[in-house]
Amino acid sequence: MFNLILFGPPGSGKGTQSENIIAKYGLVHISTGDLLRAQISAGTPLGLEAKLIMEKGELVPDNVVIGMINDVMSYNKDAKGFLFDGFPRTVAQAEALDELLAYSNEKVNLFVSLKVEENELLKRLLNRGLTSGRADDRNEDVVKDRIKEYNKKTTAVAEYYKKKGAVEEVVGVGSIEEIFGNISKAIDSHQ
């Protein structure tokens, strides 16, 4: 198995690059943002709870997100590997992922961190808000709160994986193809 985490602040290109990565490497894509939005669309109790939190730009509780990840991994036991997009976002989530993988003698093989500065993130997300229909992209204060939440709770995840090794930083500014080329080089050198 090859298990990859694509990491970065909101708007750094995780969702965008994930599409290219799964097409090239055949990994099972797990985006916690997409899973949560699917729950919201289906109007489940979990979705109703998540909607209120996501509209404020905050993180959904760890136990909810870890439960969703566990479900998708269990349904995909024969996967060649997983691409985790937008997960883990806290150290508790990172520890839980390590435990889930360890059950099947697997581990995180590579952690790719996309580097994009805050002004560019703000510009991209507000721009996406014009067409995406996503409430959390439309309001500048909410977008800023998401970036603050990332700085407060999520940057520690990068430190957690740096201690374990297999971390690659990729500049997330430039053309989508150029960035994907650099991510591919990082993956190829760790397979």
The binder of ligand B4P chosen from 4, 5, 7, 11 (CB under 6 A): 11
CB 59 within 8 A of CB 4: no
Dist CA 166 CA 168 (whole Å) = 7
User: Whole-number minimum distance, CB 105 to ligand B4P, in Å?
Assistant: 24
**How distant, in Å, are the alpha carbons of 51, 68, 121 from that of 115?**
28, 27, 10
Per CB under 6 A, does 14 bind ligand B4P?
Answer: yes
Q: Check residue 118 and give left, alpha or beta (phi > 0: left; psi -120 to 50: alpha).
A: alpha
Stretch 35-74: interaction string toward ligand B4P, x if CB under 6 A: -x----------------xx--x-xx----x---------
Residue 76 carries which DSSP code? T
Q: How many CB atoms lie within 10 A of CB 97?
A: 23
Binding mask 105-124 for ligand B4P (x = CB under 6 A): -------------------x
Q: How far is the CB of 10 from ligand B4P (least distance, A)?
A: 4
DSSP tag of 151? I
Write out the residues near ligand B4P by the rule CB under 6 A: 10-16, 32-33, 36, 53-54, 57, 59-60, 65, 86-87, 89, 93, 124-125, 128, 136, 146, 176, 179
